[in-house]
Structure 1
Amino acid sequence: MNRLLCRCSVLLFVWLLLLHPQTFAAENQVAIVANPEVKDTLDKEEIKQIFLGKKTQWKDNSGITFVLFDNDELLTVFLKTYIGKSPEQFKNFWKKQVFTGKGKMPKAIGTPTELIKFLAETRGAIGFMRSEDVDETQVNILSLQP
């Protein structure tokens, strides 16, 4: 029975991997990065609260500025993994925030170089990017709590 269960689990994993290989690959490559002064450790719920505009201050009471990396594939993976929304749902959420006067559309940056520059120069800034594009001399990779 245990062997059968094990085989079924392996087959399910392989099936999922074949069905969505880019999601599995990209999910492991997303780095949550911030201004070098940001030293907070975050969990998934805190990341969600930040990118939904509900958490606006770091533990030291300094302001949070979040920015999106404008890459469709990585944005989709980030939103699915950390926010629990599709890009369309996320966009509609922010449209409603703007319409009701509760927020403004998040800033989106198109290249890793521009994103790193923005994060390095903006106190309290946070974003995400591919792990391979991170320049740890200019930004801080935030540790994630389980």
Structure 2
Amino acid sequence: MNKILSIVVIMAGLLITSVAQAEIVVVVNKGNGATLTKSDVSRIFLGKMKKYTPVNASSGNALRAEFNKKALNKSSSQVKAYWSKLVFSGKGTPPKEFASDAEIKAFVASNPNAIGYIDSANLDGTVKAAITL
């Protein structure tokens, strides 16, 4: 029994490590010719730049937590508190959430002003990479 538990713990550690090391790519519609900086991405996903329609990975997703750290310089709880305050005051609506990279790519591919993020391993020709984090 202890041997099985040890194997499960090791496998979980390897999975968490691989997710934490995942390269995140911010994607836009293929027709979007804009160049974006990390600061632009942060402003878009915090509702400060209205030119784009941002979409998030679902709450609790490891990639989302990593994106929050890398792009927004905030923890997931800080981002949640930030959006709660804006929603309560009527000053903003958080980005729509999708359960998978495939759903994010489909939304971005069908909306010219959409922007999202996915694991770089899932990047294909349906969307265009704007910046890698």
Could you state the TM-score of these two structures normalised by the residue count of structure 2? 0.80
- Counterpart of 1:142 in 2: which secondary structure? strand
Gaps of 5+ in 2: 1-15
TM-aligned CA distance change 1:125 to 1:25, over 3 Å: same
Normalised to the residue count of structure 1, the TM-score between the two structures is 0.73
Structure 1 distance, partners of 2:65, 2:108, is 21
Counting matched residue pairs gives: 117
Which residue in 1 is equivalent to 2:86? 97
* Structure whose CA Rg is larger: 1
Asked whether the equivalents of residues 32 and 129 of structure 1 are also in contact (C-alpha less than 8 Å), the reply is yes
In the TM superposition, what is the alpha-carbon distance from 1:22 to its structure 2 partner? 4.7
> Does 2:75 align with 1:75?
no
Identity among equivalent positions (%) equals 33
Structure 1 alignment gaps of length 5 or more = 1-19, 58-63
| 1:89-137 CA-partner distances (Å, limit 9, x unpaired) | 101111111111111122110012211110111120000000111222x
After the TM superposition, list the runs of 4 or more consecutive aligned residues in structure 1 that deviate by more than 6 angstroms. none
Partner of 2:21: 25
Is this contact kept in 1: 2:25–2:131, CA < 8 A? no
Say if 1:24 and 1:111 are closer, same or farther in 2 by CA, change over 3 A. Answer: closer
**Could you tell me how far apart the structure 2 residues matched to 1:42 and 1:23 are?**
24
Q: CA deviation at 1:24?
A: 5.5
